[in-house]
Amino acid sequence: MWLLGFFSVPIPLAYGVHCLITGHARFFGRRGSHLDLHGTAAVSLAIAYMAVGLFMHAHWFWGLHPRLFRFSPVLKVFALLIFIGSFGYAMFRIFA
């Protein structure tokens, strides 16, 4: 299971970095619908995507490692706080 925490992390992390570099992000929806964002909303959504990758790594890699499992809850809380703040700001920028 720790392989999932190691090999699936680059997907949201790389997409978040790509969105930071280009300044454009896509908010994925259901049934193929999506919302293209740019500017500060895209940057904050990119940070949220990277926080998802950090949470996945903390849960499936650090959480199952014999020496790192003690730090996993702290890193998960940190990732959740980053996600809530950046995703909340992105939603504010979309609806405001």
Task: List the chain domain ranges.
Answer: 2-24+37-95
Closest by CA position to 63, among listed 52, 74, 53: 74
Neighbours of 23 (CB within 10 A): 13
**What pLDDT does 31 receive?**
83
pLDDT at 49: 96
pLDDT digits (tens, 9 = 90+) for 39-96: 999 999 999 999 999 999 898 888 888 888 899 999 999 999 999 999 999 999 999 8
What's the pLDDT at 30? Answer: 85
Q: What is d(CA 48, CA 53) in angstroms, rounded to the nearest whole number?
A: 9
Band (pLDDT 50/70/90 cuts) for residue 8 is: confident
pLDDT of residue 44: 97
Burial degree of 80 (CB within 10 A; 0-12, 13-18, 19+)? middle
Placement of tokens 């950090």 in the chain? 54
- When pLDDT is cut at 50, 70 and 90, the band that residue 17 belongs to is very high
**Whole-structure pTM value:** 0.90
Phi, psi at residue 51, to the nearest 5°?
Answer: -65, -35
What is the rounded CA–CA span in Å between residue 71 and residue 87? 24
